[in-house]
A and B are shown apart, each in its own frame.
Chain A
Amino acid sequence: MDMKKIANSIFSIIVALLFGALVILAVGQHPLEVYGIMFTGAFGNMRAIAGTLVKTTTMIFVGLSYGFAFRCGLINIGIEGQLYMGGLFCVLAGTYIHLPAVLHIPLCLLAGFLGGALWGGIVGILRAKFRASEMITTVMMNYIAIYFVTMLVNGPLKETKGTFPQSNPILATAQLPILIPKTHLTIGFFIAILFLVLYALYWKHTSLAYKMEVVGTNMDVAAYAGISVGKMMMLSMFISGGLGGLAGCMEVMGVQHKIMESLSAGYGFDGIAVSLLGGNSALGIFFSSLLFGTLRFGGNAIQMFTSIPIAVIYVLQALVILMIVVDVFRQQSRQRS
């Protein structure tokens, strides 16, 4: 990331916060006070910081998911559904299979990856074989996944006590080991960092990644160069979905230890903002995940201590996305040239 990109990102964040302040004013609250509550909520003490890093972990996976498809020219708006399917597969592997933790955890991660990959892969196949716009199909697959999970936790997967529409907790061997006691900060954070590194290595050093980037840049050129465009798209949606599935794993294995209708509070859509703000690079995604992790966890404090709902975070997020794609700086330089 060069200086101009970083300056642009910081500018986007500032503008988003200013617009957010207007919205907060409009509902009759004091913006500085609300932002103050958000900041202390996110960094006030050790437990707050741990909470922020837990959200950051999920943000990293959804950011990687969006970035992976985006670099191959696909818009994955279906991370939310992939997250649910990943969470579902993860719960199944974590509840019904008995293994020691050292094997059980990787197996659950693999199951979660496959769950999300299956959901993304379907979209990839429909895109490649029928040219069905992935922008519409991914959104529809979100609704289908959430209804599917809701159906299961109200029926066959409902907890044995039978009180709430949620599954039984996964076995202790499938839960991620905790780093800081009495928080949800687990080794999941390091797993996320590992995937950031893998992501960076993949795009820098493999020929498959090169082919995908050619497809992402210009499909016609890719086809002319003999790259199988359809195959690249299917594979990229498969992996993108898998990364979304891992975000579901993080929520299940690290935080909730079960699955229910409200497993995700729109985390899938955060992936778009995370990835765009981070310029789709591993380091960029790390820092933007940290920002959106802060917004998410600090947002909980806003919801708790003011009358403003956490949805105000969506406003900030959307404005960050808009400021980046509208890209004021680029336009100015273009006009000058």
Chain B
Amino acid sequence: MLSFLITTINSSTSILLGALGILFMQLAGVLNIGAESMMLIGAFVGVLGSSMFGNVWGGVLMTVVCVGITGLVFGFCTIMMKANQVVVGVAFNILAEGLTTTLYRGVFGMQQGTLKVASFGRIGPFSLPVYFGFFLVIALTIFFYKTKFGLEIRGAGEYPLAIDSMGLSVNKIRYISVVIGSIIIGLGGAYLSLGQLSFFTEDMVSGRGFIALAAVIFGRYLPIGTWLAVLVFGIGETLVYRLQAINCGISLQLILMIPYVLTVVIVSFFGQKASGPQMLGIPFDKDAQ
């Protein structure tokens, strides 16, 4: 039972970080379908940095810088140029798949998945990013509900005109949120390649960015709610490992479907849009409102 719980928490940390990052930028009003791309870039540059510096922290640094830049570009397209946020997100996902695959083969040659790099060691039952995930759930709860800036971010998503009339820049708040959120999402990707494993494989995120998005909705846009939602998904994923291991006669593919079916079911029953910020997905245009 205890080992089941530990596996669940370990395997769900990448989705947790992804979801908390998504939550961060969505509370500010920017819809992120592109989380998948940010996780994939995080996973790739994490391995790249870890191999360049010979040190896992080099990978973390590289992730923060590169995914931060990715977030800036995402912000430019969606906040500044007011492009359709969903389509920008989809384009980012396609772009990241192409970029990481091409660059990975270009930099490391064809030996896919065999290149091992320095990764996170364990402290007690978990590795460091798992504790970071716990910390972030508490820190974000305090930040969003007890601090002035947290309130302003939620205001930018809920009622941007009020934020604007207070003399604050909605777009600036959204930019900051998108960059910070992206970095957290990217760290979730880096956890995949540097925490759970110690290498990169093409398309290794395989839908986790979308599952994280579903977890934010399921968790009612609350950090703690999101965490609980992620744990539900984590249990699903752990069941997958266990069922695979005990060779129960159910076909492997049927087992692998579980997290995806679970997501569809959860989004269907808890996916009412009403729970999200009012202005989610709508660019702020002072003159138009």
Residues of A with Cβ closer than 8 Å to B? Answer: 23, 26-28, 75, 77, 126, 130-133, 135-137, 139-141, 143-144, 147-148, 150-151, 154-155, 266, 269, 272-273, 276, 307-309, 311-319, 321-322, 325-328, 331
Contacts and interface: CB of A to CB of B under 8 A. Distances in A.
Interface string B254-289: 101100110110011101110000000000000000
A309 B263 contact: no
B86 A314 contact: no
Contacts, number: 152
Contacts of A75: 86-87, 90
Given A28-B106, A308-B105, A23 B99 contact: yes
B81 interface: yes
A315 B271 contact: no
A310 to B, nearest CB: 9
A314 B273 contact: no
Interface string B78-104: 000111101110111111011101110
A137 B83 contact: no
Nearest to A28: B106
Given A27-B105, A126-B264, A325-B84, A148 B257 contact: yes
Interface stretch (B50-58, B121-129, B210-218): B210-218
B107 interface: yes
20 contacts: A23-B99, A126-B264, A131-B271, A131-B273, A133-B267, A135-B86, A136-B210, A136-B214, A136-B217, A147-B254, A147-B256, A307-B110, A312-B102, A314-B97, A315-B98, A317-B98, A318-B91, A322-B77, A322-B88, A322-B95
B206 interface: yes
B278 to A, nearest CB: 15
A155 B95 CA distance: 35
B251 interface: yes
Nearest to A321: B91
Contacts of B99: 23, 314-315
Given A136-B264, A321-B87, 5 more contacts: A136-B271, A140-B267, A154-B253, A273-B94, A318-B91
A325 to B, nearest CB: 4
Chain B: interface residue count, which band? 35 or more
B102 A308 contact: yes
B105 to A, nearest CB: 5
Contacts of B33: 135
Contacts of B97: 266, 311, 314
Nearest to A331: B81
Given A140-B210, A143-B206, A132 B267 contact: yes
Contacts of B267: 126, 132-133, 136-137, 140
A69 B42 CA distance: 32
Nearest to B255: A147
The 8 closest A-B pairs by CB, nearest first: A27-B106, A314-B98, A318-B95, A311-B101, A151-B253, A315-B98, A321-B91, A318-B94
A307 B103 CA distance: 11
Interface in B197-219: 202, 206-207, 210, 213-214, 217
